[in-house]
Amino acid sequence: MKLSLLSLFSATTAVVYAQAVPDAGAPPGSTTDGIPRPRVGSVPYGVTITACSQPGTVALTFDDGPGVYTLQLLDLLDETGVKATFFILGRDSASSTDVLQRMFAAGHQLASHTYTHLSLNNGGTRYNEVMYNEMAFRNIFGFFPTYLRPPYLECEQDCLNFLGERGYHVISTNVDTKDYEHDDPSGISVSRQLFSDGVAGGTGNGYIVLAHDIHQNTVTNLARFMIDESRRLGFSRDISSTSHPVSINVRISRLASVRHAACSPIRFRLPRTDVAPITTSSHNSGVFEVHSGSFGSFEQLGIDEQSTIGGHIL
């Protein structure tokens, strides 16, 4: 049984959360529309996933970052040997490159939370929100993720159809800490209780927990509580820097080869030649590496798609 980290959001609050910026300009470079988006593996596309399929797993997810507290959270994750999934807003990615690269190098999963946090139920802005975030990821890493959490958890059928066509796994939550409503030293106890109540079903179930790395008390209080409580309840065993139960799924836009290590199978796709080589490893022993190569198609990578997509949390 393993512990990982992911996150969540709500629309109906009067508290501080990521503000949508409808007039944010597009990232530089060409669009990502020409990249093939084949469906592989057992994790469904274009449907809402609310729970981990692997019993005994708590997946803690963080939305809306990077923020001013994200580096402090990364320090905590390094200290505790826990891997997280961060649902990233791309609008400020150019000024947060170092933080994002640290996340990636430490073995955390980076996923999409759209470009400016506009609701994806709005058909007039949906395309740009998703595609611009793909471009922002592409400009930093040479790839973009295939996991996405819709802002406010809003995604009606037209939205799901659109995301399915673009090859996305749509992630929601079954444990909402509502930390955006309780970002103060006393109020955060409510979020702690919501977490405890949410995982009270025990290790026979799997949980996707929603929190936000943009809130101070989430980082300074709630995050450590969730890690410690999960371990106390028996949700985690032998957690280390290589225990990363969320498969990393991205679409590559450069020539690349992949070498497996430890517990984190990887799926890469869609080579391109105009992005500089990337080399990355996890904290301590390393989860995976991407390095320059000459593969011309996804199939040539020789990765077991079924184990990559279906063998871990989702």
Please indicate whether residue 169 is annotated as part of the active site: no
Distance CA 304, CA 166 (A): 22
Please indicate whether residue 212 is annotated as part of the active site: yes
The string of DSSP letters for 30-97 reads --STTS-----SSS-SSSEE-S-SSTT-EEEEEES---TTHHHHHHHHHHHT-EEEEEE--TTGGG-H
Candidates 113, 212, 244, 312; catalytic one = 212
At 12, which amino acid appears? T
Distance CA 220, CA 189 (A): 12
Distance CA 3, CA 230 (A): 8
Distance CA 95, CA 305 (A): 34
Candidates 63, 176, 179, 183; catalytic one = 63
Count other C-beta atoms under 10 Å from residue 187's C-beta.
Answer: 14
Catalytically active residues, by annotation: 63, 212
